[in-house]
Amino acid sequence: MLNMYIPTIENHSKDHADWYRNFSTAFNLSQLSNYLLLSYITTQVEQNKKIIFMQNEYKLGSRECKTSEDRADLIESLDIIDMLNQITAEFSLTTQKHNQALFYRGIQIKGFHDENVKIDLHDILSSTTENNWSQVIRGLINVFEFLFIFSITEDHLKEIVNQENSKSIVAKALKDKPGFIEHLENRFKMPRNFIIKTWDLYLEIRNLYAHSFGYINEKDKSQIREKRDAFIDAYQKLPMTWHLFDQDATENLFKDEKLITQKLYLISTSEICVFRNVIRKLIPELSKWENRESPNSRNA
């Protein structure tokens, strides 16, 4: 369950607090837009497969593919590279187009377009923790989704607990709602420690992007490892029902070999699934619990 792809969330109803309407709408928007982008990539690749199969890069690269997933990554990466080459060529013409438009209007702005511009796809790829462009683009889409979901979750939690400290807002939300954590444990088998360790880990990941644009230094590396190990320990203590579905949920979670200093870390699909699946249960239930506690609800 933890690393399954589940892009939906409980719909807003009279049982939820009013703020949940905006939260669920924003959550759905993030899932729809991300799926749309990935669908466009997949469709584009399918249309161009025959052309890609004829490329020397594919013939050479396919010899090193060990699985069907490797081959799919190679095909998608080659198609993405073709498209990125077209985009960089278009970028290089931008200055020329602007200068021509200004010239025809009798305008010259010296120095505005004189900077040295170079977009090197190989350099960009080598600056990340990924091996191909398919993983880079999908990783970036995961990052955008993660930051979006994290921000709306953090914002609503701060309002609920009336506190600005992001580190302790989940612990305070659980503490301030008598009986709520027991409800989560009984219904969803989600104990307090597991929820808090999940938040601690992904808060560290959010800070990585907020403070250093996703580029890892030694301090980041150490802190992510510490929070990851604490999360895994909490996960391993979950009831057996979780492990029946999630036999490899933590096997590839923020692996050491991907925590490379001076490299841009990109979130994997399984890593975003873990965060999404915890939030999509925690926040709707918290909303309903808060609604039950409200004066209007008690007087109804």
Q: Does residue 292 lie within any of the structural domains?
A: yes
> Which helix (DSSP H) or strand (DSSP E) does residue 222 occupy?
helix 218-236
Structure tokens at 183: 């409800």
Contacts of 178 (CB under 8 A, 6+ apart): none
Q: Does residue 2 lie within any of the structural domains?
A: no
Tell me, what's the pLDDT at 182? 93
- 């749309």: which residue's tokens? 36
Q: Does residue 3 lie within any of the structural domains?
A: no
Identity at 210, one-letter amino acid code:
A
Tell me, what's the pLDDT at 92? 79
Q: Does residue 228 lie within any of the structural domains?
A: yes
Q: Does residue 12 lie within any of the structural domains?
A: no
Q: Does residue 213 lie within any of the structural domains?
A: yes
> Residue 295 belongs to what domain range?
19-299
- Residue 264: Cβ-neighbour burial (10 angstroms; 0-12, 13-18, 19+): buried
Tell me, what's the pLDDT at 298? 43
pLDDT in tens, 203-241: 999 999 999 999 999 999 999 999 999 999 999 888 777
Tell me, what's the pLDDT at 299? 45
Structure tokens at 15: 């049982």
Tell me, what's the pLDDT at 44? 85
Per-residue pLDDT of the chain (300 residues; tens, 9 = 90+): 677 889 999 999 999 999 999 999 999 999 999 999 999 988 888 888 777 777 777 666 666 677 777 778 888 888 898 899 999 988 878 777 777 777 777 776 666 666 677 889 999 999 999 989 999 999 999 999 999 999 999 999 998 888 888 899 999 999 988 899 999 999 988 999 999 999 999 999 999 999 999 999 999 999 999 999 999 999 988 877 776 555 566 778 999 999 999 999 999 999 999 999 999 999 999 999 988 876 554 444
Q: What distance, in Å, lies between the first and last C-alpha atoms of the chain? A: 36
Is 0.75 surpassed by the pTM of this model?
Answer: yes
Collapsed DSSP state (helix, strand, coil) of residue 11 = coil
Instruction: For residues 144 and 142, give the distance between their C-alpha atoms in angstroms, rounded to a whole number.
Output: 5
Q: Does residue 8 lie within any of the structural domains?
A: no
Contact 156, 23 (CB under 8 A): yes
Quote the number of domains for the chain: 1
- 């873990």: which residue's tokens? 274
Q: Does residue 230 lie within any of the structural domains?
A: yes
- 């993660």: which residue's tokens? 146
pLDDT in tens, 77-125: 888 988 999 999 888 787 777 777 777 777 766 666 666 778 899 999 9
